[in-house]
Structure 1
């Protein structure tokens, strides 16, 4: 089967362990009996690169600062962005990142130590270190994007987070919604967002934007797409532009639809259609046998026609004027939330929260 024309591929289960054990982490160990050595992981990564020529590749270690030996390969595949929890971004590490062509560092940050401790279990000194290291990155000329997870706990401190990021010269805050995946399924159910929370959050951010030019804000697709006041043609252009520059389309259209995106485990060889839901068998998209080199790709699980017919709730064709362009927002989020609530057939559940619909209700 031919490789998808615009496939974006994340290479997972690569590198050393993370230096933290976060309570909200969606990552789940592949559970293999045998874990390949670092050298074997790199050989497998090269094999994937050869299997998908011309695709946009992203190496996804659990923490880049514990796996700096990956930087040569990261540079070789043209990757210019890395993710970090921020604790180990010393002068030496930041210089090494810059020397390998890294232009952007995404760091997870909350408005206070109290919040960060709840989800990350860090010390107050480590929280201060994260802030100092963000400043170190911006001084070095690296672009810093702050990832911050939205929940009922964090919704009250958005002004404080925005002010902190503005002082640190952070370029953008990207909001992810806390999802019941991985370890987060063990958290108290009452801290997950509902639509009323999201409406309040968007109102706070819109008010902040009226008074401050920086930082900029963006909602990940797991908050629902932001198509508010956009015409079908404007949406089409945004999606097309995203496909041409790597994984930016993830903010406008679920990349698992029609298999625009793959994530490959370098331990098991398993290929999934979604980074967040890679442990769910329904998102399996095939496998690579690293011994024989054989590649097996299954037909896409999520297809335009089937989604258009089967989506329910907020995302049903008759309930959303953006249905044709959106096709159900983030399918792994809708799936996870519906499964967490014990709904039947969660694959076709509608998004319970959507930025577009929230903005409409706010009258923006």
Structure 2
């Protein structure tokens, strides 16, 4: 089976849509003492943030699920009760309208945005309202596209909200995937539950050292989280009213940072996960894998010899595998936070622009899942492409 080659270059209008500024130019002042850049209040108030437009042909819908695993106490705050999850379900829609329910999906709650700024960008000069009102492209409550579609579970980095992977969730859904974007309780900068309570990453992220077992313990716990979510979406009595869309034998996973590590751990523990992607995440520890796996990370941190856990894991992967790095990127270049950092004047002068790093991430991740969950040939994954000179292929 063949498919049209993937084009990496977007029209100029789509590129500039990634970060829209209002009429005034945002002035910045550098602080020599801290090395950070602060934004004047009047300029910050004029900023409007916008995610890149999805590149697939389908409109995108979004539902929110609240799930509770009554078989497990929360491992980080046992007194809070059973393990809880907030999940954003993205899906290809048959229409972008649906009466009053067809409104644009909010990016995150204001409380979640306030917590994100406090933990990840204090002094950035951006208000929670600016972050929470970031423009998205998914619509709420719109009808699902007929047929069955592969399921991809997305897991964010430790201390990051699930919204940090919205750019990828919307894009994959527009290409015909069902996406479960998971917030793991007490592992996100902020998670708002249906009762209005917003919990943070405390105490996990505030500990002077990781819990017993280190980050491997967090990764193993996430693997249990993801298996539970898959159970709830594909079981005999699914928790989502559109679960009939899911092709239960075509399941993949992708994650950023610790979420990428969790993808490997989940694949090792759950045979239902057929293919997985690690976006710039260190492994805790290296894991033996026999199914398709994509490593995609920063060239500065994850080229061969830069992260020993990537070198060790690569040798233990016996299935289809690719090791790609992207030049001029950092850890947040594979998340929505690259847009926030750009707006706050916190990006380096030589950094790859967010619109480009996010475009590369979406294109290669989609090609990987198209190959392994849809069976479509992807020449893009065969070797370096002149359309993406920033991307290097490694085979140490």
TM-score, normalised on structure 2?
0.29
Which structure has more helix as a fraction of its residues? 1
Please give the TM-score of this superposition, normalised by the length of structure 1: 0.31
